[in-house]
Amino acid sequence: MGIVDFHTHIYPDEVAEKVLSNLEKHYGVERKAEATLAGLLSSMQKAGVEQSVVLPVATRPEHLSNNLWYAELRKKSMGKIIPFGSYHPEASLEVVEAFSEMGLSGLKIQPNAWKMEPSDPRLFPLYKKAQEMGLIIVFHAGDEEGGKAGEFSHPSMFVPVLKKFPGLIVVLAHLGGYRRWSETDALLSFPQVFFDTSYTLHILGRDKFLSLVEKIGEERVLFGTDFPFRDQKEEKETLISWIGEKSSVFQANAQKILTGTKAP
């Protein structure tokens, strides 16, 4: 396993343009590539990224029908894509129970899209099931791009979940709290939590980024880009210049949780 990008987004070809255009308008972001399988594989080849974790988000129950498409990405890409699945609070847990058989390694939760705090008790059965199955949960953490407040994703809102489910493997995107990094200290004492670097390098800058990584512990940081809204090659080269190409951030930390290592 070479360099792993732990935070990417792509969509089926027939809806990719519509979804991407809506996201650009909503968040005021700009694509760096097309959010398709072909677009991601091309980007990975140019960047020297061996595997990418793809994170779908279901904002409506009907989006769950795409789980089969995501599950097929591993075979279609000859193992270059590590697919996660999606879930929706209105769905049965049978959706998640099928993940292992489908080859889905975990799921992404966007609390603001669901308008639910991570510690909402209605989500506890989901966390319990994911913990039992060894699935990874990636959460959006912090505010949103475009000046939108993360009303349901403040860093402190994850603490009750981490306390109640100590065996749940959690990845908090954007280094634990996009534009709320001063509030992430409460998250650092939970060893089951990892933090990805997606969409942070150009916001934080070198010194602030390195200070935050030192506080978190490099062994718990995962390289992530937020493709297609960041360029994989640019992000990789920037991070290598800051922490060196042999850092565990690029591969070893991802391998630790993707190979089924239980949370401490």
52 forms beta bridges with 5, 81
Which residue's structure tokens are 């769905």? 91
Domain map (residue ranges) of the chain = 4-258
Interatomic CA distance for residues 44 and 52, integer angstroms: 8
pLDDT for 264: 33
Please name the residue ranges forming H helices in the chain: 13-27, 37-47, 67-71, 73-76, 94-97, 99-102, 111-114, 124-133, 159-164, 201-216, 232-243, 252-258
Helix, strand, or coil here: 243?
helix
pLDDT tens-place string over residues 125-161: 999 999 999 999 999 999 998 777 899 999 999 999 9
User: Three-class SS string for 61-75?
Assistant: HHHHHHHHHHHCHHH
Residue 241: both structure tokens together: 């210049």
Nearby residues of 214 by Cβ (< 8 Å), 6 or more positions away: none
Interatomic CA distance for residues 231 and 33, integer angstroms: 8
pLDDT tens-place string over residues 171-189: 999 999 999 999 999 999 9
> What is the rounded (10 degree) CA torsion for 122, 100, 98, 157?
20
pLDDT tens-place string over residues 196-247: 999 999 999 999 999 999 999 999 999 999 999 999 999 999 999 999 999 9
Kindly state the helix (H) or strand (E) to which residue 57 belongs, with its residue range.
Answer: none
Look at residue 1 and tell me whether its pLDDT is greater than 80: no
Q: What are phi and psi of 227, to 5 degrees?
A: -50, 135
Fold of 4-258: TIM Barrel (3.20.20)
**What is the rounded average pLDDT of the residues 50-74?**
96
